[in-house]
Amino acid sequence: MGMSRQREGYSGKQVPVTAPDGTRLYVEVDGPERAEVTVVFIHGIIVDLATWIEQREFFQDTDVRRVFYDHRGHGRSGWRGLDPSIAGVRQLGDDLAAVIEATAPTGRVVLVGHSMGGMTIMGLAAQQPRLLRERVAGVLLVSTSAGPLRKTITLGFPDRMAPVHQLLRLLAVPVFAGVGRLPHAAWRRVGLRPSLLAASKIAVGPSGPRSARTRTAHMVHRSRLRFTTRFVPRVLAHDERMTMARLEPARTVVLSGDRERLVPHADSLSLARLADGARLVVVDGAGHMLPYEAPDIVSSEIAAMVGLAAAETASARDQLA
């Protein structure tokens, strides 16, 4: 059967979900249907739901409902383009709302977003603040930014190399647009080496495990670049600094590696301040791919949020009794 669905990270019950514009989203659900708490996992750009394979294993056989999905144009989800009238990645926030409605229409929800997935949560907060206020019990923002990355991205080059930063910001969109024009068959024939190089030099911290590099490279290598690279301008333009105030500080945790190169570590540090004092967790020596590089820390933070949500649910139930 080649690489199994389990090894790829695809292994749960499929649930049909349609985005507001008709795009078919690929969604999988683990855990009991009547769970009191549902965790929704949202991956980043140019990868897929296999980002969460370690967390999927961590919560296996628990009474927590877990939802994993591929963004539009990523993994096994469909593609109907991006609405040019919607700013940044807010359209992905609407997609997330559709996923929540289809998979967790009742009960408390914990949202876990990595990179563009974290931006998607901010997009949800901007587009549908009532849903955030009434249903979401916790938010974990992993290796992400409130933006705008078009002004802050450095790929890890030191501050003294400001001209390099400017060149990177200038070339990012045209370079990725060129990569996106490569025929998929040609990209596949190139082999895994370029993806491994990108994983080693940009995505994973210098002390990250080899498995983190390999898993990241495989996701990038199987990505449909003609679609996923179109998100680069949206990610660079994403600016939800004002939206962060809508997140409840006591229910928000920001997680970042101090050797982050893809999203500036300083951007992650500012998230906690923008959310009016959300808790900040810094992982020493880690880079961008924290779900692979520090899976125990990511899973433990999620478990703590689930525990608080479950306790709140039990308390509310007792008050009604």
Q: How far is CA 312 from the centre of its chain?
A: 26
Q: Which residues of 264-293 are buried (b: 16+ CB within 10 A; e: fewer)?
A: bbebbebbbebbeebebbebeebbbbbbbb
**Triad 181, 44, 178: Cα angle to 5°:** 15
What is the percent of the chain with per-residue pLDDT over 90, rounded to a whole number? 68
Residues 126-139 have pLDDT tens digits of 999 999 999 999 99
The confidence score (pLDDT) of residue 95 equals: 98
Segment 23-42, tens digit of pLDDT: 999 999 999 988 899 999 99
- Tens-digit pLDDT string for the chain (321 aa): 334 444 577 888 999 999 999 999 999 999 998 889 999 999 999 999 999 999 999 999 899 999 999 999 999 999 999 999 999 999 999 999 999 999 999 999 999 999 999 999 999 999 999 999 999 999 999 999 999 988 877 766 667 666 765 776 676 666 777 777 778 777 777 788 888 888 888 899 988 999 999 999 999 999 999 999 999 999 999 999 999 999 999 899 999 999 998 898 889 889 989 988 899 999 999 999 999 999 999 999 999 999 999 988 877 776 666
**Structural domains in the chain, sorted by start:** 13-320 (3.40.50.1820)
